Structure 1
């Protein structure tokens, strides 16, 4: 039974139209958007969520979009107080607090997809690594030689370090705290694969890849774009890389979530020529 169906006896038809169709469950924390017009029904909404998901300890209302240098959305608790939680995916456990560091369950399938592409002995770089889901899933599901994760947000870095220990991948995953602009140029050697899971700004960091990805290596580049631009997006991205002195071919492009009406998150798998 959907949230709307659970609320149909408590909200008017007009109010029901304002109820969001979905919400995100991160461990035992729910993140939901509730328009101001129906905030007086917040208790009913919480009760409906708890009826469907009895393990939930906290419900957070999203009150601000992902923003700022650390790319964290703003939330207000409408039920419970504890915001730190443990998430399980692909045999891994992640300690995370969504009010302090970005984490999305919705990208779980994409993280597995990337991990399955990683060949034995590869050296992988994950920029904007957050609390470590990409590096740790890769370390667990593949057999890389090394996975380097770079993250600026100190809260995310602390969780990243804890998650490396929690998942026993200390010998494979290297955590670096800092700005990719400063860190990546200092990294020695080349990488077989680079993951850039920051769709809002990845294009600003393409230049850092010059000389850092071996020929024949791969870049997984995430971006937001209009559905209307989908057909020309591969060529658009190829040219962005060309402008920064990198020749690439687009091996694959796929949607991996939506951002707004007619605006999607895309990932492009690129081979460096």
Structure 2
């Protein structure tokens, strides 16, 4: 039963139409979006969530979008208080605080998809690695030789290090700092490069192009309007070509939405040739 169905008959039809259909559950924390015009229904919404999900200890209302260099959204506590939790996916556990770091359980399926593409012995780079979900899921589900994760947010870096220990993955290396400063200094190239930050990935194409091996793959994430979808693979190929890397977009899919008619997309790129630099 959805939140709207649970509130039907308790609020007006006009109010009901403004209630968001879904919410995100991270561990024992719920993140919900309650528009200002129906904030007076907050207690009813909290009661409905708790009735359906009795394990929940804290409910956060989203009051600001993901922004800034640390990619963190703004929240207010509308129930409970403790904001640190442990999220579980694919046999992995991730300690985190959504008020301090970015993490979305909605990308769980995408993380599994990428892990299944990783071949034994690959060296993988995860840019904008957050608390380590892509890196650790890959290390757990595949057999890479090494997974390197780079993250700017100090709070996320600390959780990433703790999550490596929590999940007992010895072939994951954590680097705290700016991708642009750290990645060029890493020795050797990578068989696979992940760029899972749609807001800023385009600004770091040159860094990924520098480190991906010929014959390797780049997984490029971006936001785009539905009207751009058809041209998106070609556009991303051109971005890399401008930095001396000839790629072929082998796969593209929608993996979440950002706003009405604007989605998150991933484009899987096979590196065909690299111009000497």
* TM-score, structure 1 normalization: 0.98
Alignment of 1:92-111 (within 5 A): 92-111=92-111
Give the corresponding residue for 1:31: 31
Separation in structure 2 between the aligned mates of residue 209 and residue 93 of structure 1, nearest angstrom: 28
Separation in structure 2 between the aligned mates of residue 165 and residue 30 of structure 1, nearest angstrom: 26
Does structure 1 conserve the Cα–Cα contact (< 8 Å) formed by 2:125 and 2:149? Answer: yes
Give the corresponding residue for 1:166: 166
Separation in structure 1 between the aligned mates of residue 51 and residue 233 of structure 2, nearest angstrom: 44
Give the corresponding residue for 1:237: 236
Give the corresponding residue for 2:275: none
Matched, 1:20 2:38: no
Matched, 1:47 2:58: no
Alignment of 1:4-153 (within 5 A): 4-153=4-153
Q: Which shows bigger deviation, 232-241 or 102-111?
A: 232-241
* TM-score, structure 2 normalization: 0.97
Shift of 1:210: 3.3
Q: What is the root-mean-square deviation in Å for CA atoms of aligned residues? A: 0.7
* Matched pairs, number: 272
Separation in structure 2 between the aligned mates of residue 249 and residue 48 of structure 1, nearest angstrom: 48
Shift of 1:212: 1.2
Alignment of 1:261-272 (within 5 A): 261-272=260-271
Describe the superposition over 1:117-176 as per-residue Cα deviations: whole angstroms up to 9, x where unpaired: 00001100000000000000000000000000000000000100000000000x200000
SS in 2 for 1:9: coil
Give the corresponding residue for 1:154: 154
Separation in structure 2 between the aligned mates of residue 40 and residue 104 of structure 1, nearest angstrom: 27
Give the corresponding residue for 2:224: 225
Runs of 4+ displaced beyond 2 Å:
none
Shift of 1:2: 1.2
Shift of 1:10: 1.9
Structure 2 gaps of 5+ residues are 273-277
Shift of 1:88: 0.6
Separation in structure 2 between the aligned mates of residue 139 and residue 167 of structure 1, nearest angstrom: 10
Separation in structure 1 between the aligned mates of residue 3 and residue 28 of structure 2, nearest angstrom: 17
Shift of 1:214: 1.1
Shift of 1:41: 1.2
SS in 2 for 1:183: helix
SS in 2 for 1:210: helix
Shift of 1:245: 1.6
Structure 1 gaps of 5+ residues are none
